[in-house]
Amino acid sequence: MEHFPVTKTDSGFLIEGFPEAVKVVRIDGRQSKRLADLALHRADLEFAAECLKTINLVSDKPGVLRQALWRAAIIHYMKCFGHSGARFQLSAERIYKGNTPALVAFSYFKELRDRHFVHDENSYAQSVPGAILNRRDKPYKIEKSSALA
């Protein structure tokens, strides 16, 4: 999304880069809504790209930074293609039409986001309840009960 620095002057405000401008107005209508939605998609895609660039700049230790950047990149990318009441969705079928490898990659990342990052359907994220039992001669039989994650 484009950001324009604004400076307060004696006569009002100046939007940097537009010295001849005299007024800023809001536009309404269906096409202006579409323009706003596209700007939000662009901001999400730029953020995802920055996350991917930054992954290569951070250390492997701790791994949480790299994992957070990876997840954020996929989530923000996929956000552009999801159903939302706030903005229209991009169509992967239209964008990647005729590009089968790109559609396969898109499907992979969509499933990764849906099953492993946002919703917990993966077999790796499990918690197993259990108990540590004592010997028979101890006065209490259960030493500890917990769930191992």
> Does residue 49 sit within a domain?
yes
Q: Is a pLDDT exceeding 70 seen at residue 124?
A: no
pLDDT in the model for residue 148: 63
> Does 54 reside within a domain?
yes
Burial 10-26 (b: 16+ CB within 10 A, else e): eeeeeeeeeeeeeeeee
Q: Which of 97, 119, 99, 98 is nearest to 110 (CA)?
A: 119
What distance in Å separates the CA atoms of residue 54 and residue 67, rounded to the nearest whole number? 11
Is residue 86 included in any domain, yes or no? Answer: yes
Inside any domain, residue 113: no
Backbone angles phi, psi at 21, to 5 degrees: -70, 145
Q: Which residues contact 141 (CB under 8 A, 6 or more apart)?
A: 133, 134
Provide the residue range defining the domain that includes 53: 29-90
What was the pLDDT predicted at 74?
Answer: 95
15 has a pLDDT exceeding 90 = no
* Mean pLDDT confidence for 92-115: 94
Better-scored residue on pLDDT, 69 or 14: 69
| Mean pLDDT over each residue of the chain, to the nearest integer | 86
For residue 45, pLDDT over 90 is answered with yes
Q: Decide if pLDDT at 130 tops 90.
A: no
Q: Provide the number of structural domains found in the chain.
A: 1
Taking only the tens place, the pLDDT of each residue in 68-103 is: 999 999 999 999 998 878 889 999 999 999 999 999
121 assigned to some structural domain: no
> Does residue 7 lie within any of the structural domains?
no
